[in-house]
């Protein structure tokens, strides 16, 4: 498989037309960055990102694991979430942003990447087994999905995604939606 501009555009269009969460996700991609940047968000806005990470699988993610991760995140004090996201806004290093986010309870590199995608959608893309598998099948990543990914693995993935997005003349959100749709074709 080769990730070409036309393939990415086609799969992103399919995503918008067929995925159950597409409209809700698009709304959040548009409103959350400003809310996070201004500090004008509530607990449920930040919690939505954690819930989205697992629920985007529409039941294909083990329910017990999802509930445990969401419960762990729920142990955070909201002031800690506010402080962490504020520090992430001020940081200018990819690795530092991921590390800051992983100081929150229930936030591993995968969830940190989801936060980054919704805080800075023009700079970051979520990582998961499906997206990684597509990039691996397209020879954009040498190694199979590291379960779970660490910071260095995420940075390798992020660089590959940025290169593909640039080559395909699309933003990272568009690339994400295309990768999500392409996963069914690499299994």
Mean pLDDT confidence for 107-116: 98
Q: What is the predicted pLDDT for the residue at 59?
A: 82
Both tokens assigned to 127: 């990582």
CB atoms within 10 A of CB 55: 14
Q: Is 3 exposed, middle or buried (0-12, 13-18, 19+ CB in 10 A)?
A: buried
Residues 56-66 have pLDDT tens digits of 988 888 889 99
Residue 151 near residue 113, CB atoms below 8 Å: no
Question: What is the pLDDT, as a whole number, of residue 42?
Answer: 95
And the tokens for 153? 């693995």
Nearest Cα to 136, choosing from 156, 151, 150? Answer: 156
The conformation of residue 144, written as its DSSP 8-state character, comes to P
Tens digits of residue pLDDT in 118-153 = 999 999 999 999 999 999 999 999 999 998 999 999
Residues in CB range of 123: below 8 A, 6 or more apart: 116, 172
Taking the model in full, what pTM does it have?
0.95
Cα–Cα dist 162/172, whole Å: 7
């Amino acid at each position: 498989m080769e990730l070409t501009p036309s393939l990415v555009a086609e799969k992103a269009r399919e995503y918008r037309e067929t995925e159950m969460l597409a409209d809700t996700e698009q709304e959040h991609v548009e409103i959350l960055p400003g809310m996070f940047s201004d500090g004008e968000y509530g607990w449920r806005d930040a919690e939505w990102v954690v819930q989205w990470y697992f629920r985007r699988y529409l039941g294909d993610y083990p329910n017990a694991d999802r509930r445990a991760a969401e419960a762990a995140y729920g142990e955070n004090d909201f002031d800690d979430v506010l402080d962490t996201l504020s520090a992430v806004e001020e940081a200018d290093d990819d690795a530092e942003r991921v590390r800051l986010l992983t100081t929150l309870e229930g936030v591993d590199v995968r969830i940190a990447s989801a936060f980054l995608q919704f805080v800075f959608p023009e700079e970051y893309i979520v990582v998961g087994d499906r997206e990684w598998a597509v990039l691996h099948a397209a020879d954009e990543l040498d190694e199979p999905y590291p379960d779970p990914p660490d910071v260095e693995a995420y940075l390798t993935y992020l660089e590959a995604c940025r290169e593909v997005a640039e080559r395909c003349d699309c933003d990272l959100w568009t690339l994400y939606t295309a990768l999500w749709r392409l996963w069914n074709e690499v299994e």
